Structure 1
Amino acid sequence: MQMADLGDIRLHYRLDGPEDGAPLVFSNALGSDFRIWDKVVARLPGSLRILRYDTRGHGLSDAPEGPYSMGSLVRDLERLMEHVDMRDAVVVGLSLGGMIAQGLAAKRLDLVRALVLSNTACKIGTRDIWADRIATVTEGGTAALAEGTLQRWFSPPFHDTPEITGWRHMLERSDRTGYVGCCHAIAGTDFMTPTSGLRLAAMGIAGSADGSTPPDLVRETTELIPGARFELIRGAGHLPCIETPDAYAALLTDFLTAQGHAG
């Protein structure tokens, strides 16, 4: 277990691959931890140096009192990459993680070589939607919204697999303070202007059965970056890294190879 003490926050992280490998960073969705990437990492080239971490308020990272700002979440990743001496990385962000990735790229292009914006957008939902979710979790914890969230996360066939139970437990056991803190960060974020100013290689990934960030929303954000490519994984929900890891890893490997970043 690796913990980075960044002064005001301690973040749980993991490094895989050779120390001199091409750097690749993963940032997670709201209500999840870095285990969502396990299947994808196992299918990627072994030459990569891979950083995964639990977002503030999630997994084994600290969950300080909120609300959190998106700036603080971006700064957490910025400082973690500096802590492990990683720069010029391809950053893959899913949902909330995709917002963090956009913010990091706008702030620190020395850290970000290319972006993969997965099942995300420059703005997700409305303040009213997030206010309702904050109220629900504050009252009843994340278990109170688990059923609806899992319906958006995964396509119907996946709900018939034994694996769904583990992901339900991950969500239901998420820290209430951390989840609500990150909801505040998402509610207050609109990256339309900074993302449209980015000039770097980028790929958007969407799932055709995603009930949280539908394909058109992901496509609209991807197209803010000139030259970015857009890929749709058919039959996948909001977490294609779990549901369709073969397709996801193939897209990611192809993108990394195109950037000369696969080793």
Structure 2
Amino acid sequence: MELSLTRLAGTESSERLLVVGPSLGTSVDQLWRACAQVLGPEVEVIGWDLPGHGHGKPVGEAFTVADLADEVSARTVALANGRPTGYAGVSFGGAVGFELASRDQGPFDGVVTIGAARRIGTPQMWWDRAAVVRRAGTAVMVSGSAQRWFAPGFVERSPDVAGGLLRALVEVDDESYARACEALAGFEAGAAVTPVRVLMGEHDVVVPLDGADLVLAGCGHLPPAEAPELVARVLLEEMRCPTTTA
């Protein structure tokens, strides 16, 4: 499986590399670009898309969170070119982050997970959602996602941001979305070897807040879109970069 990569900020000559991952149902560009732009020119930000999401090529075969972590790791080795390198992922992208952190060797100096846990939901929940999407398409997920993704009042305050993310959900390939659900059904991360920082939105209803190292005030499940400046500041601190651009 070859993941689609998108440069969201910086260049190959930037001092540091940050690889970012998306939430299920989102385009990495829409989820992360505003946050990436705040990070400033010293950080090259490269995002990857889930299969059938954003620029990702649709798939019809099963894949696992570990498969995606393999691909993210291999692609990052080629991109890093000796630079300090970090990873940050939201929800499904955070699950990939936990998987990356559980490995003895890899290209990342540190991992930040956002709105994620070592197991997200229950296997049956994900199998049921996969069946619903195969039957009715990703459009059936819009109403529930609008409630799960955002903090109270965000849709009204930022209709362009919320609307763009929800429209992208409708465009996701149905079978690829279902396969991603099945990947989460089989996912449970092992113990971390690489340092991990766990961030949660204050109003996240998808994952329990008791696992958080830091709770992001005023955010729901998608903090990089809801509060890009806040998330950028935390990431710059994690990467030990100057915070003047945040």
| TM superposition score normalised by structure 1 | 0.83
Does structure 2 retain, via aligned residues, the 8 Å contact 1:94–1:120? yes
Query: Structure 1 residues 10 and 206 mapped into 2: Cα distance closer, same or farther (>3 Å)?
Result: closer
Partner of 2:7: 14
Aligned partners of 1:150, 1:52: CA distance in 2, in Å? 23
Does structure 2 retain, via aligned residues, the 8 Å contact 1:105–1:111? no
Task: Compute the displacement of 1:112 (Å).
Answer: 1.1
Gaps of 5+ in 1: 1-7, 220-229
Aligned partners of 2:142, 2:201: CA distance in 1, in Å? 20
Partner of 1:222: none
Partner of 2:17: 23
Partner of 1:52: 47
Task: Compute the displacement of 1:167 (Å).
Answer: 1.5
Alignment match of 2:123 (pick from 124, 127, 130)? 127
Which stretches of structure 1, 4 residues or more, deviate above 6 A after TM superposition?
none
SS of 1:107 mapped into structure 2: coil
Does structure 2 retain, via aligned residues, the 8 Å contact 1:137–1:144? yes
Number of residue pairs the alignment of both structures matches: 239
Task: Compute the displacement of 1:16 (Å).
Answer: 3.4
Does structure 2 retain, via aligned residues, the 8 Å contact 1:56–1:73? no
Query: Structure 1 residues 108 and 91 mapped into 2: Cα distance closer, same or farther (>3 Å)?
Result: farther
Task: Compute the displacement of 1:93 (Å).
Answer: 1.2
Task: Compute the displacement of 1:210 (Å).
Answer: 0.8
Partner of 1:202: 196
| TM superposition score normalised by structure 2 | 0.89
Please tell me whether residue 96 in structure 1 is matched to residue 130 in structure 2: no
Task: Compute the displacement of 1:86 (Å).
Answer: 5.0
Q: Alpha-carbon deviations, 1:24-56, whole Å to 9, x = none?
A: 110111111112111111111321122112122
Aligned partners of 2:215, 2:51: CA distance in 1, in Å? 29
Does structure 1 retain, via aligned residues, the 8 Å contact 2:52–2:173? yes
Partner of 1:5: none
Partner of 2:113: 117
Query: Structure 1 residues 74 and 86 mapped into 2: Cα distance closer, same or farther (>3 Å)?
Result: farther
Counterpart of 2:203 in structure 1: which amino acid? Answer: A
Aligned partners of 1:255, 1:10: CA distance in 2, in Å? 26
Query: Structure 1 residues 154 and 197 mapped into 2: Cα distance closer, same or farther (>3 Å)?
Result: closer
Partner of 2:159: 162
